[in-house]
Structure formats: structure tokens, C-alpha cells
Amino acid sequence: MSRTVFCDHAQAQAEGLDFVPWPGELGQRIFNHIGKPAWQAWLAHQTMLINENRLSPRDPKHRAYLQEQMVKYLFNEGSVDAVAGYQAPQQTQD
């Protein structure tokens, strides 16, 4: 049976994560208050930030930036940086 959480990002009940996705207190906060759909959406946004801004997860400054963006994104604590140059694919009508 999957667990449910009140997702702070979606402001609704959602399926909870299966494991703590981040080390430390922040990871526990994410585990307790973020649903799977919001976490997957964050991973997609994080990938775009890394690729478009040429960030390296090995660089401590880049990791700190990504963690700051993650908290803003998941917990709605301020505006999240937009991905420079990204344009969403246009919907085609069949």
C-alpha cells in the first residue's frame, strides 16, 4: 500500500515518495511533504537547469544553487529561475 502525503507543492493529497531523496533534514522534509508527481516535475526542471546553464553537480557552488532552486520549487518559497532559452514544444492539432 502506498502512502499519501499532503504535497506542499501541489497543495493537495498525493502519493508519497518511496524513499528519502536527499540527505539530511531537507531530505526528510521532502519525504514528508512532497508527492511523487511534484518530485518528478522537479527532476525534469533540474535537468533543464543543469543542461541549459551548463551546471556541474560536482561543483559545490552549482550544487548549492540547485538546492536553493529545489527548495523554492518544491515548497513555493520564492520564484524559481526560468530556464534561459527554453521554449515549450508547441502542441500540434491532429
What are φ and ψ of residue 16, in 5° steps? Answer: -80, 165
Joined together, the cell numbers standing for residue 4 give 499519501
Find the helix packing angle between 60-75 and 36-53, rounded to 10°: 140
Task: Give me the CATH number covering residue 15.
Answer: 1.10.3880.10
Q: Annotate 24-54 with DSSP letters as a single string.
A: HHHHHHHHHH-BHHHHHHHHHHHHHHHHHHT
Instruction: Tell me whether residue 64 is in a domain.
Output: yes
Instruction: Tell me whether residue 42 is in a domain.
Output: yes
| Total domains, the chain | 1
d(CA 2, CA 48): 29
What does each of the 94 residues of the chain score in pLDDT, given as a tens digit? 589 999 999 999 999 999 999 999 999 999 999 999 999 999 999 999 999 999 999 999 999 999 999 999 999 988 888 877 766 667 777 6
pTM: 0.85
